């Protein structure tokens, strides 16, 4: 009897193990591409298609497909087609590591794009570095990601730059003197809140409170009630759309009447704007997608993405799309081998992309471009300002 | 501010009580920690969302969400848990976790990964009492009202009806109850129907409260409800209500006065550990005599 019990327990465990293992890879066995000139060029990609960030995973996967389609429609890379090798990392670092290993050893990709968050991208970055395969992080913002070596690049602002830009908006543009911070408790929220604090305090403003929460939190009434008593001029909230939408709604219900400043984390048309509805009006964010930009690359991207997805794009989609465009630009000009792609990215100057004019990449692989400030007006992200001050937007190079 | 925080705490506690009640009922009889109940919580919200889109009628949406999820509970009991009854409880626990993961991914594939709005809270305006510095959300009345009514009905069912008698007998000793002529199969089935119905009500109300439902919405309830059940004394409905209010109030007051120096869930678990150190059997659990 007891044996039978253990047996059945084992069977269940093995079955579960198989299920978990099965979830890992959607790619299957892929042999490295032959080095002939007709074979498609493979670009690796990973994103949190399942798990708590599945909405972002969905956005970036659509953007990656759109980008590859566009590159191929424009003639591919000097006649060769580009092929996407995409995986789901479930927002788990261990998954990201095994995906990076698969991409660099089995799949024969010449470059890769991370459409995932900071902690997963950080785990995967050293593997690409060691394999000498260039990787661009689309929107992960932790400073350590690019520090491993020169094969790892970043397409959006490093957290320290965006935090500083947030500080600039708060004290220089909005003249806030007292500020409350509400940040999601992970790499993203902590990096932004820390560099924001550093900047605003250096300008003489005061951070009166700092509260943190997990990315699945929904109940902000206790902490907003507390903040209401402190009467700050501004609330800075580096967090994502799910939590950000609840902060917006509950602040409105509590009649808070305090200006709120968000980040690219709530730059989400589906999740943030729809759930928060009219309560989001007036919230200002720092991001890299300027919806009112005159750049053709931006307007084309917004049009194509909307036609494909049935809704307007968010910044994670735009950043991911740009990674592929940068890779394509580098490959067209410099060749489609990993080393040449890497060198080509460093040579890029003043490249028109969906997220604005890319001035170039520094020796760490950090991008330099203007920070966009958008305000939510009548349920849509709209131009509020643009930060081009080199003191704010220049990323660190060590 | 004080009154506001007390009301905040009561609302949070009521939400926990509702959420944990389904799993408490199942644990009370089956001695299984039924994780898939948190899947039913999300399922109920999604079914309701579907019918709201189709019919535009909130009442139809709620009734269908609860009814179909209750039917799902019956199916789960009949085809998943009943065959595993004579196996070790670990088997049932793992099967429940498996079903929970399946449900989450099923909802993601069918409903999409984005959070959707369960928007029938808009018709309930907030009430402001500036004298007390108090804001009462319209949806709070709905939550508190529903919790109170459902718990009264449950209390009546358990303590004042024949069904409740059979239920309590089955919970105490299934074999003896069976020998006394109680149709324990039917009791167990009814238990699941009610437990999953409760989960659906909780999921729908939370969806309305936060105007959002998403495939992973059962994640936090899956572990939070365990905390509430354990603290309440494992399978004791009254204990669950008490524990839910204690945890809700502790989180809110600590969060509101000290701040979220830790994420709220972490505060809740610190409180849980402290109370369990003092009362290992839970708030209303009976100490087991060995």
Looking at residue B180, its pLDDT comes to 85
Can you say whether the dihedral through the CA atoms of A63, A69, A71, A73 is positive or negative? negative
Please give the Cα distance from A227 to A247 (Å, whole number): 12
Looking at residue B210, its pLDDT comes to 83
**Could B211 and A275 be called an inter-chain contact, meaning their C-beta atoms sit closer than 8 Å?**
yes
CA distance A211 to chain B (A): 5
Looking at residue B252, its pLDDT comes to 85
Nearest chain B residue to A6, by CA: B88
Q: Are strands A351-353 and A356-358 parallel, antiparallel or unpaired?
A: antiparallel
Question: Cβ contacts of residue A219 below 8 Å, gap of 6+?
Answer: A246, B8, B12, B264
Q: Are strands B127-129 and A380-387 parallel, antiparallel or unpaired?
A: unpaired
SS in 3 state form for A262-301? ECHHHCCHHHHHHHHHHHHCCCEEEECCCCCCCCHHHHHH
**0.90 exceeded by pTM:** no
**Could A13 and B105 be called an inter-chain contact, meaning their C-beta atoms sit closer than 8 Å?**
no
Looking at residue A343, its pLDDT comes to 95
Q: Assess contact for B69 and B44: CB atoms under 8 A.
A: yes
Q: Which domains does chain B have, with CATH numbers?
A: 2-278 (1.10.3470)
DSSP one-letter string for A74-101: TTTBTTB-EEEEEEE-TT-HHHHHHHHH
**Could B263 and A212 be called an inter-chain contact, meaning their C-beta atoms sit closer than 8 Å?**
yes
**Could A19 and B90 be called an inter-chain contact, meaning their C-beta atoms sit closer than 8 Å?**
no
CA distance B272 to chain A (A): 18
> Same topology for domains A38-157+294-365 and A160-287+373-393, yes or no?
yes
Which residues of chain B are under the pLDDT cut of 70? 120-123, 259-260, 285-290
In this complex, the residue of B12, B101, B113 whose CB is nearest that of residue A54 is B113
Please give the Cα distance from B245 to A226 (Å, whole number): 20
Nearest chain B residue to A8, by CA: B91
Please provide the size of chain A in residues: 398
Q: What is the gyration radius of the CA atoms in chain A, in angstroms?
A: 22
CA distance B35 to chain A (A): 15
Chain A residue numbers touching B105 (CB-CB < 8 A) = 50
CA-nearest of A24, A42, A149 to A96 is A24
- Ramachandran bin of A245, using left for φ above 0, alpha for ψ from -120 to 50, beta for the remaining angles: alpha
Please provide the size of chain B in residues: 290
Q: Tell me the count of A-B CB pairs closer than 8 A.
A: 128
Interface test with chain B among A247, A275, A279, by most B beta carbons within 10 Å: A275
Please give the Cα distance from B104 to A308 (Å, whole number): 26
CA distance A370 to chain B (A): 29
Rounded to whole angstroms, the maximal C-alpha distance in chain A is 75
Chain centroid to CA A53: how far? 11
In angstroms, what CA-CA distances link A44 with A87, A91, A237, A276?
8, 17, 33, 35
In angstroms, what CA-CA distances link B177 with A72, A388, B40, B85, B181?
71, 77, 29, 16, 7
In this complex, the residue of A16, A241, A249 whose CB is nearest that of residue B211 is A249
**Could A50 and B260 be called an inter-chain contact, meaning their C-beta atoms sit closer than 8 Å?**
no
Q: Assess contact for A47 and A86: CB atoms under 8 A.
A: yes
Rounded to whole angstroms, the maximal C-alpha distance in chain B is 62
DSSP secondary-structure letter at B133? T
Chain B residue numbers touching A183 (CB-CB < 8 A) = none
Looking at residue A36, its pLDDT comes to 56
Class of domain A160-287+373-393: alpha beta
Q: What is the pLDDT of residues A373-392, one digit of tens each?
A: 999 999 899 999 999 999 88
Nearest chain B residue to A241, by CA: B115
Q: What is the pLDDT of residues B131-162, one digit of tens each?
A: 777 778 888 888 888 889 988 888 888 888 88
Please give the Cα distance from B155 to B31 (Å, whole number): 20
Nearest chain A residue to B249, by CA: A222
Question: Cβ contacts of residue A205 below 8 Å, gap of 6+?
Answer: A170, A171, A176, A177, A178, A179
Q: Assess contact for A221 and A249: CB atoms under 8 A.
A: no
DSSP secondary-structure letter at B286? P
Give percent of chain A with pLDDT exceeding 70. 91
Chain B residue numbers touching A210 (CB-CB < 8 A) = 259
CA distance B267 to chain A (A): 11
**Could B257 and A223 be called an inter-chain contact, meaning their C-beta atoms sit closer than 8 Å?**
no
Mean pLDDT over each residue of chain A, to the nearest integer: 89
Chain B residue numbers touching A8 (CB-CB < 8 A) = 87-88, 91
Looking at residue B290, its pLDDT comes to 43
In this complex, the residue of A213, A241, A254 whose CB is nearest that of residue B264 is A213
Looking at residue B234, its pLDDT comes to 73
**Could A226 and B253 be called an inter-chain contact, meaning their C-beta atoms sit closer than 8 Å?**
no
Q: Which residue ranges make up each domain of chain A?
A: 38-157+294-365, 160-287+373-393
- Local structure of A317: helix, strand or coil: helix
Task: List the beta strands (DSSP E) in chain B.
Answer: 127-129, 134-136
Please give the Cα distance from A58 to B113 (Å, whole number): 7
Output the six-digit token pair for B252: 């809110």
**Could B128 and A229 be called an inter-chain contact, meaning their C-beta atoms sit closer than 8 Å?**
no
CA distance B251 to chain A (A): 9
Output the six-digit token pair for A23: 């979830």
**Cα angle B110-B221-A16, degrees, rounded to a multiple of 5:** 65
CA distance A284 to chain B (A): 22
In angstroms, what CA-CA distances link A380 with A267, A285, A292?
10, 12, 11
Nearest chain A residue to B212, by CA: A275
Looking at residue A167, its pLDDT comes to 95
Please give the Cα distance from B56 to B68 (Å, whole number): 18
CA-nearest of B24, B11, B42 to B192 is B24
Nearest chain B residue to A209, by CA: B259
Chain centroid to CA B55: how far? 27
In this complex, the residue of A55, A226, A274 whose CB is nearest that of residue B117 is A274
- Residue, of B270 and A335, whose pLDDT is higher: A335
Chain A residue numbers touching B263 (CB-CB < 8 A) = 185, 212-214, 217
- Residue, of A32 and B281, whose pLDDT is higher: B281
Question: Looking at residues A191-196, what average pLDDT do you find?
Answer: 94
Looking at residue A9, its pLDDT comes to 54
Looking at residue A32, its pLDDT comes to 45
Chain A residue numbers touching B259 (CB-CB < 8 A) = 209-211, 223, 226
CA-nearest of B190, B120, B137 to B161 is B190
Alpha helices of A74-186 — where are they, by DSSP H? 93-105, 118-131, 159-167
Supply φ then ψ for residue A174, to 5 degrees.
-100, -5
Looking at residue A1, its pLDDT comes to 45
Please give the Cα distance from B95 to A210 (Å, whole number): 41
CA-nearest of A218, A212, A222 to B253 is A222
Nearest chain A residue to B86, by CA: A5
**Could A52 and B216 be called an inter-chain contact, meaning their C-beta atoms sit closer than 8 Å?**
yes
- Local structure of A214: helix, strand or coil: coil
Q: Does the domain at residues A38-157+294-365 carry the CATH identifier 3.40.50.2300?
A: yes
CA-nearest of B31, B58, B248, B237 to B150 is B237
Looking at residue A16, its pLDDT comes to 52
- Confidence band, pLDDT 50/70/90 cuts, at residue A187: confident
Looking at residue B122, its pLDDT comes to 58
- Given a cut of 50, whether residue A31 has pLDDT beyond it is no
Please give the Cα distance from A199 to A197 (Å, whole number): 5
Output the six-digit token pair for A10: 């084992």
Q: Assess contact for A284 and A374: CB atoms under 8 A.
A: yes
Q: What is the pLDDT of residues A286-309, one digit of tens each?
A: 999 999 999 999 999 999 999 999
CA distance A373 to chain B (A): 25
Question: Cβ contacts of residue A20 below 8 Å, gap of 6+?
Answer: none
Q: Assess contact for A358 and A367: CB atoms under 8 A.
A: yes
In this complex, the residue of B94, B112, B255 whose CB is nearest that of residue A12 is B94
CA distance B149 to chain A (A): 23
Q: What is the pLDDT of residues A260-292, one digit of tens each?
A: 999 998 998 778 888 888 889 999 999 999 999
**Could B219 and A216 be called an inter-chain contact, meaning their C-beta atoms sit closer than 8 Å?**
yes
Supply φ then ψ for residue B259, to 5 degrees.
100, 165
Interface test with chain B among A53, A219, A280, by most B beta carbons within 10 Å: A219
- Given a cut of 60, whether residue A27 has pLDDT beyond it is no
Question: Cβ contacts of residue B2 below 8 Å, gap of 6+?
Answer: none
**Could B255 and A226 be called an inter-chain contact, meaning their C-beta atoms sit closer than 8 Å?**
yes
Question: Looking at residues A87-96, what average pLDDT do you find?
Answer: 94
């Amino acid at each position: 009897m007891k044996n039978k019990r253990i047996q059945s327990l084992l069977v269940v465990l093995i079955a579960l193990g198989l299920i978990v293992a099965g979830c890992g890879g959607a790619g299957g066995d892929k042999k490295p591409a032959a080095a002939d000139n007709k074979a498609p060029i493979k670009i690796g990609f990973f994103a949190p298609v399942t798990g708590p960030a599945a909405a972002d995973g969905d956005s970036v996967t659509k953007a990656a497909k759109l980008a590859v389609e566009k590159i191929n429609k424009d003639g591919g890379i000097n006649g060769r087609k580009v092929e996407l090798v995409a995986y789901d990392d479930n927002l788990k670092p261990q998954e990201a590591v095994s995906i990076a290993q698969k991409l660099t050893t089995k799949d024969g990709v010449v470059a890769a794009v991370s459409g995932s968050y900071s902690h997963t991208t950080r785990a995967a970055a050293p593997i690409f570095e060691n394999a000498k395969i260039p990787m661009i992080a689309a929107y992960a913002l932790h400073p350590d990601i690019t520090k491993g070596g020169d094969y790892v690049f970043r397409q959006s602002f490093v957290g320290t730059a965006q935090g500083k830009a947030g500080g600039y908006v708060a004290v220089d543009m909005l003249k806030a003197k007292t500020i409350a911070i509400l940040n999601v408790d992970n790499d993203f929220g902590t990096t932004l809140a820390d560099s924001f604090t550093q900047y605003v305090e250096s300008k003489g403003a005061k951070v009166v409170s700092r509260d943190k929460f997990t990315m699945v939190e929904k109940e902000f009434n206790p902490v907003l009630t507390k903040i209401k008593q402190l009467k700050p001029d501004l609330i800075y909230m580096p967090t994502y759309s799910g939590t950000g939408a609840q902060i917006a709604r509950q602040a409105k219900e509590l009649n808070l009447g305090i200006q709120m400043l968000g980040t690219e984390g709530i730059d989400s048309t589906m999740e943030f704007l729809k759930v928060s509805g009219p309560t989001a009006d007036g919230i200002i964010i720092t991001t890299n997608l300027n919806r009112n930009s005159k750049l053709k690359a931006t307007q084309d991207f917004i049009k194509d993405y909307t036609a494909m997805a049935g809704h307007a794009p968010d910044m994670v989609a735009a950043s991911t799309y740009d990674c592929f465009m940068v890779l394509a630009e580098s490959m067209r000009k410099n060749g489609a081998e990993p080393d040449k792609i890497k060198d080509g990215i460093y040579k890029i100057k003043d490249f028109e992309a969906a997220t604005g004019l890319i001035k170039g990449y520094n020796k760490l692989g950090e991008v330099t471009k203007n920070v966009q400030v958008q305000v939510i007006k009548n349920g849509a992200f709209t131009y509020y300002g643009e930060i081009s001050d080199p003191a704010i937007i220049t990323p660190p190079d060590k | 501010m004080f009154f506001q925080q007390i009301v905040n705490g009561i609302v949070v506690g009521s939400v926990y009580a509702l959420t944990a009640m389904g799993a408490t009922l199942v644990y009370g009889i089956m001695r299984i920690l039924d994780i898939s109940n948190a899947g039913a919580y999300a399922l109920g919200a999604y079914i309701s969302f579907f019918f709201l889109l189709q019919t535009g009628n909130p009442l139809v949406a709620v009734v269908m969400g609860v009814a179909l999820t209750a039917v799902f509970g019956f199916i789960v009991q009949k085809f998943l848990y009943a065959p595993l009854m004579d196996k070790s409880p670990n088997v049932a626990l793992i099967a429940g976790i498996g079903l929970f993961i399946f449900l989450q991914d099923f909802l993601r594939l069918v409903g999409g990964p984005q959070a959707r709005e369960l928007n029938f809270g808009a018709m309930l305006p907030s009430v402001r009492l500036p004298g007390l510095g108090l804001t009462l959300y319209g949806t709070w009345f709905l939550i508190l009202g529903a919790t109170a009514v459902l718990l009264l009905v449950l209390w009546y069912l358990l303590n004042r009806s024949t069904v409740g008698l059979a239920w309590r007998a089955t919970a105490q000793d299934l074999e003896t109850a069976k020998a006394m002529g109680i149709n324990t199969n039917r009791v167990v089935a009814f238990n699941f129907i009610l437990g999953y119905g409760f989960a659906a009500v909780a999921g729908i109300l939370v969806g309305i409260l936060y105007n959002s439902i998403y495939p992973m919405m059962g994640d936090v309830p899956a572990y939070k409800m365990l905390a509430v059940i354990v603290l309440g004394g494992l399978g004791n409905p009254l204990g669950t209500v008490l524990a839910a209010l204690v945890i809700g109030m502790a989180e809110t007051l600590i969060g509101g006065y000290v701040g979220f120096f830790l994420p709220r869930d972490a505060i809740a678990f610190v409180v849980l550990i402290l109370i369990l150190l003092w009362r290992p059997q839970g708030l209303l659990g009976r100490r087991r005599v060995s």
